[in-house]
Each structure stands twice: as C-alpha cells, then as structure tokens.
Amino acid sequence: MPISQSLITPDLALAFDIKLSALHNHCLQEIHPPIHAPSSNHDVQKGIHLNPHNSSDFADSSELGGSGPSDEPARTLKRPRLVWTPQLHKRFVDAVAHLGIKNAVPKTIMQLMSVDGLTRENVASHLQKYRLYLKRMQGLSSSGSVNGALGINGGGNVVDPATDHLFASGPMPPQFLPFVPVPAMHPYPHPRIGGSAAAVHPQMQMHNYRHVAGGPFSSGVAADGQYDHPHHFLGRQLQPSPRHRVGGGGNGGIGVGGIPPFVENLGSADGSSGGNMKILTLFPTGDD
DNA sequence: GCTCCAATAT
DNA sequence: AATATTGGAG
C-alpha cells in the first residue's frame, strides 16, 4: 500500500526541511499594503513577507526531488520556525497598541496583523514573551524612580513615559479602542494612545538580524520599511492553519485598519557591537 | 468546543 | 535565546 509514501514523504520532508530551513531559512516574506476590514471583504489581502534570509546561495528550494514540504500535504506538515523580524515585531506591537490590552489577545492580534502564515500560536508565543518583557520593564522603572512625570497606570504601576506605550492604552478607558481603530483613512487613529510610543523602541531582545535583507542598516528594511525581494516565496502554501482562521463572519467585529509599514531601528539600541550602530529610532511619525 | 495563558519542551 | 507545544482554566 501507498501508505508509506504518504507517511514517510512528509516525514522525510520534514526532517529535510528542518535542516534546510535552518540553513537557508526561506520562510515567508512579503509586504503588506494597508488592507482593511476582512469581515466584509473578499480581498483579505495579507501579505507580509517575513524574510529572515535572503542569501543568494541557492535559490531553488522547491525542487529537491520532491522532498520539499511545498507539496500537497499542507496539513500535518510542520512549518519552519517563525522568525520575528523587526518588521514583523513592529506589526505586532502596532497591533497590540492599537487594540489595547483588553483586546490584545492572540487571535485578535493575529487578525489585525494580517500576516500570511501567521498562526495564533505564533502570536501567542510572541505575546507571552512580549508581556514578560513589558512586565520586566515596569518592575525596573518603578523602583528607584520617583518621577512625577512618569505615568501611573490603573494597575498602580509606574512606567516610563517613553516605554509605557502599551500599558498606556491598557487600563485606560477604551473609548475607541474596542475595535474599528481606524477610521478607514488614517493609519493611526489615535497615536497618542499608544501608537507611536509603542513603536519607539520596545524591542525585546530579538536575535540580531545581520542578514535581515541585504544589509544591516543599509538596505533591507529600506526607507519604506519593507523588503525588496519580490521573489523568495516558498515555505507555506496558503491557509496553513489547520484550525480556522478569521471567521469572516464569526468575528465580524474587528474592523482592522491595516497597519501601515513603518521603519524601525534594526540595530540594537545598545549598540553592542562597535557602537557604530546609528539607531535612528525613526518614530512612526504617525503622530499626525 | 474554543481561546487564553502560563509552564514546559525543543 | 527564541519559538513551539502542552495542559489547565475560563
């Protein structure tokens, strides 16, 4: 019986893929134009391209004697580890900021991000770490600092205004945070709530993306904040989620405004290496 | 049953 | 260290 094929094929492919991905990691990558309201839209165009790699070593990963997972069995296949590039993280942070703590749950965030291939688990995992990061920060800032300038949140915690961002919109009365954050016009409905702040530099320590895309800070995340690698797809087909994604009708509440692509500082703020890293920390100028 | 979250595993 | 996976809880 052909059982062996259906079974070992994915299995072997898996093993291979893992190694391959570890080597040239060709995950997903794409850019995401401002989309919106998936509820009543058929054009749920997601399109962020996460591209951890872009080496020009070899470009063909879809033809390895059929060992590639890019075959038919889109299910039961293990997808490569998601790499949270600065761009992706940015998207994430923006989504969280715009949703507010209350709605900032994995599913919602995932929907808002509208990143193809992103699963709820991915977001959940990242969110967990993100929360931890925030918590840590709060604990640190609260002790020793007696600044009246600091913002005190409902939680009674004192946070640095420069980093409070997320929490700023958390305990706050979500008069407009619930959903439909964007009026369908501006990317940032209310930046002061937590939009810009969040983007400032809440960079949890993600590994160095020395190979993010072309260059460390030269190109890669070019001025437009997106990669310029039209090709490189690969990885996942569509609908990678074994579970159901955006219910289209199930939720219907998340207005989603589409987070505009912004630039973010790639280099670590600490300038660990050399110190020549000129973190521009471009603010999302979404202030207006 | 689904989602969240914290803990745990890779 | 960064993500994934698991298990309990709502």
Nearest-CA residue to the C1' of B6? A128
Nearest-CA residue to the C1' of B5? A128
Q: Give the pLDDT of residue A107.
A: 95
Q: Give the pLDDT of residue A101.
A: 80
Strand C within 7 Å of which CB atoms in A 77-96?
A: 78-79, 81-84
Q: Give the pLDDT of residue A171.
A: 38
Q: How far is the CA of A261 from the C1' of B4 (A)?
A: 28
Q: A281: left (phi > 0), else alpha (psi -120 to 50), else beta? A: left
A243 touches strand C (CB under 7 A): no
**Tens-binned pLDDT, residue by residue, of chain A (288 aa):** 443 344 444 444 444 444 434 434 344 444 344 434 343 333 333 444 444 444 334 444 444 455 555 555 666 677 889 999 898 898 899 899 988 888 899 999 999 998 888 999 999 999 999 999 988 887 776 554 443 333 333 333 444 444 443 333 333 333 333 344 433 333 333 333 333 334 444 456 666 554 443 333 233 333 333 333 333 333 333 344 344 444 433 333 344 455 554 333 333 333 333 333 333 333 333 332
Q: Give the pLDDT of residue A70.
A: 56
CA dist A159 → A26, A29, A88, A110, A256 (Å): 39, 35, 25, 26, 28
Q: How far is the CA of A121 from the C1' of C7 (A)?
A: 15
How many residues are listed for chain A in this entry? 288
Q: How far is the CA of A13 from the C1' of C4 (A)?
A: 19
Strand C within 7 Å of which CB atoms in A 17-46?
A: none
Nucleotide nearest to A129 (CA to C1'): C2
Q: Give the pLDDT of residue A68.
A: 55
How many Å apart are CA A95 and CA A115, to the nearest integer?
A: 11
Q: Give the pLDDT of residue A8.
A: 40
A124 touches strand C (CB under 7 A): yes
A131 touches strand C (CB under 7 A): no
List all residues 6 or more positions away from A4 whose beta carbon is below 8 Å from its beta carbon.
none
Strand C within 7 Å of which CB atoms in A 162-221?
A: 204-207
A120-142 and A86-103 are packed helices; what angle lies between their axes, rounded to 10 degrees? 80
A121 touches strand C (CB under 7 A): yes
